[in-house]
């Protein structure tokens, strides 16, 4: 069976037709796409989309169907995947190049992120329980974190992977906390310090391994995905050394149901180098004998909604960004946002907020929602 017939048959299993007329169908612009995808798997699919070889009106729904049908497993042994797995097994890139994710992704331009994100520039999943806008969902998430930690006025709070300062500003403004944020992105650090809400907030360009001090609470929102499988336990021990004996640590991370040793090869090459989504087994193993697990909250379905808002904002402001980025970047970023939305819709990815304590809360931890 040729590449065209094989891919067509696979897509049909997910109720996706080649050159069909439904919004999520796979539309061919270059017949070479079949060999490319069948030969290169995920990397070939992403790169051929960037090159304009195929299209879909509703990429998020196409990938929701493909992932729900678990078709990606048919490509696990393609060359790009094998090289990615070998690299992850042999090289601890997240330790050797801790600032690469900052320069390659987060420093891609504040002009882009300021138009895509909410007004506070919060680049993590919103909490849509009582929200109807992106701003409300992000503030709802930031407030949820503060309440889960029990932050009080004067508390010293560390944010590992603090981005453009959204959480530390919010915690200081609303709860009176004294906050230190650390990031590996120079542009994020410069922006955060230039736009801090008061003098109780500071951001430093710093690798988490080099943080010093003692804090009442520690939070990490959307950074653990860049730590790397080989460094999970090191990260947990470092956080424990920074946390007060009576404090709490909240870990907010994308997570998946099954452990792996590498990330998707297209994502690794174009979006998040040296990244990896942890499984709940890997997180629990890393935290074992370091922390007491107090609470585990999954609201991954909210990431689907968040990503679609980011896509609409990005698309709606493209005329303001087109002079800074080319059409291939547009297609790359669109693919990243909508494929990610499809993965959360298919429940292949989750969003977890996990609360840890050093010794266990006397009488038990009571979650707020």
The answer to whether 332 and 50 are in contact (CB under 8 A) is yes
366 located within any domain: no
Instruction: Read off the pLDDT of residues 109-147 as tens digits, 9 standing for 90 and up.
Output: 899 999 999 999 999 999 999 999 999 999 999 999 999
Which residues, including other chains, have CB under 8 Å from residue 275's CB and lie 6 or more apart? 94, 101, 225, 226, 228, 263, 267, 268
Are residues 119 and 51 both part of a single domain?
Answer: no
Of 76, 111, 126, the residue that ends a domain is: 76
> pLDDT-based confidence at 175, cuts 50/70/90?
very high
Q: How far is CA 246 from the centre of its chain?
A: 29
Mean per-residue pLDDT over the chain, rounded: 92
Query: Which region among 71-85, 237-251, 355-369 has the lowest average model confidence (pLDDT)?
Result: 71-85
- Six-digit token pair at 251? 């870990």
User: For the chain, what percent of residues have pLDDT higher than 70?
Assistant: 91
In terms of DSSP bridges, do strands 243-256 and 178-183 run parallel, antiparallel, or are they unpaired?
A: unpaired
H or E element at residue 294? strand 292-298
Residue 137, in any domain of the structure: yes
Same domain, 32 and 152: no
80 has pLDDT over 60: no
276 with 328, same domain? yes
In 3D space, the residue among 23, 26, 21, 22 whose CA is nearest the CA of residue 11 turns out to be 26
Question: 343 in a domain, yes or no?
Answer: yes
Is the same domain home to 249 and 320?
yes
DSSP class of residue 213? S
**Residues 6+ away with beta carbon under 8 Å from 82:** none
Torsion of CA 83, 341, 236, 156, to 10 degrees: 140
Residue 42 in any domain: the answer is yes
pLDDT greater than 90 at residue 369? no
Q: What is the pLDDT of residue 98?
A: 59
CATH code where residue 181 lies: 3.40.50.150
Please tell me whether residues 320 and 183 are part of one structural domain: yes
> 50 and 139 share a domain?
no
- Could you give the number of structural domains in the chain? 2
Q: Do both 41 and 119 map to the same domain? A: no
**Other Cβ atoms within 10 Å of 1 Cβ, number:** 8
> Residue holding tokens 């069976």?
1
Residue of 312, 294, 270 lying closest to 354 (CA atoms): 294
Stated pTM of the model: 0.92
**What pLDDT, on the 0 to 100 scale, is given for residue 7?**
94
Q: Are residues 29 and 173 in the same domain?
A: no
Residue 105 confidence (pLDDT) above 80: no
Tokens of 242: 């920074």
Do 69 and 117 belong to one domain?
Answer: no
- The pLDDT confidence band at residue 101, using thresholds 50, 70 and 90, is low
> Which is more confidently placed, 86 or 115?
115
pLDDT at 325 over 90: yes
Co-location of 182 and 327 in the same domain: yes
Pairing label, strands 243-256, 349-357? antiparallel
Q: Is residue 161 part of a domain?
A: yes
Q: Where are the alpha helices (DSSP H) in the chain?
A: 3-13, 33-50, 59-68, 79-90, 93-96, 100-104, 110-116, 134-149, 166-175, 186-194, 232-242, 265-270, 280-287, 301-316, 318-321, 327-345
Q: Is the pLDDT of residue 91 over 50?
A: no
Position 177 in a domain: yes
Nearest Cα to Cα of residue 271 among 46, 91, 114, 96: 46
Say yes or no: 46 and 183 in one domain. Answer: no
Question: By residue range, what is the domain housing residue 342?
Answer: 99-357
pLDDT in tens, 201-252: 999 999 999 999 999 999 999 999 999 888 999 999 999 999 999 999 999 9
For the record, the structure tokens of 45 come out as: 């699919």
Domain boundary among 44, 76, 108: 76
Q: Is residue 111 part of a domain?
A: yes
For residue 310, pLDDT beyond 70: yes
Q: Directed axis angle between helix 59-68 and helix 327-345, to 10°?
A: 40
Domain termination residue (choose one: 19, 43, 76): 76
Residue 82 lies in a domain: no
Assess whether 248 and 336 both reside in one domain: yes
Q: Which of 54-63, 137-146, 274-283 has the least mean pLDDT?
A: 274-283
Residue 77 has pLDDT above 70, yes or no: no
State the pLDDT at residue 29: 98
């Amino acid at each position: 069976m040729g590449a065209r017939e094989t891919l067509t048959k696979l897509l049909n299993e997910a109720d996706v037709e080649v050159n069909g007329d439904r919004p999520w169908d796979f539309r061919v612009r270059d017949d070479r796409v079949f060999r490319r995808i069948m030969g290169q798997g995920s990397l070939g699919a992403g790169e051929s989309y960037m090159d304009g070889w195929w299209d879909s009106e509703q990429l998020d729904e196409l990938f929701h169907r493909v992932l729900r049908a678990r078709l990606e497993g048919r490509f696990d042994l393609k060359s790009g995947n094998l090289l990615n797995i070998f690299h992850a097994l042999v090289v601890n890139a997240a330790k050797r190049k801790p600032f690469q994710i900052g320069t390659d992704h987060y420093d891609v331009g504040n002009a882009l992120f300021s138009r895509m994100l909410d007004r506070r520039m919060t680049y993590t999943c919103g909490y849509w329980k009582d929200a109807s806008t992106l701003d409300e969902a992000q503030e709802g998430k930031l407030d949820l974190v503060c309440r889960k930690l029990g932050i009080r006025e004067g508390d010293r709070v560390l944010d590992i992977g603090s981005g453009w300062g959204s959480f530390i500003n919010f915690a200081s403004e609303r709860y009176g906390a004294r906050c230190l944020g650390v990031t590996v992105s120079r542009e994020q650090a410069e922006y955060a310090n230039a736009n801090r809400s008061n003098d109780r907030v500071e951001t430093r360009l710093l690798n988490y391994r080099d943080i010093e001090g003692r804090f009442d609470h520690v939070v990490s929102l959307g950074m653990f995905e860049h730590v790397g499988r080989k460094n999970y336990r090191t990260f947990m021990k470092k956080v424990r050394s920074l946390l007060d004996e009576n404090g709490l640590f909240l870990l907010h991370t994308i997570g998946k149901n099954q452990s792996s040793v590498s990330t998707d090869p297209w994502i690794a090459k174009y979006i998040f180098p040296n990244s990896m989504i942890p499984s709940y087994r890997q997180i629990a193993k890393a935290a074992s004998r370091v922390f007491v697990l107090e609470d585990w909250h999954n609201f991954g379905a909210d990431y689907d909604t968040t990503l679609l808002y980011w896509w609409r904002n990005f698309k709606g402001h493209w005329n303001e960004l087109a002079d800074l980025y080319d059409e291939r970047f547009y297609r790359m970023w669109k693919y990243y946002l909508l494929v990610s939305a499809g993965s959360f819709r298919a429940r292949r990815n989750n969003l977890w907020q996990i609360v840890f304590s050093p010794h266990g809360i006397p009488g038990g931890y009571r979650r707020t929602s």
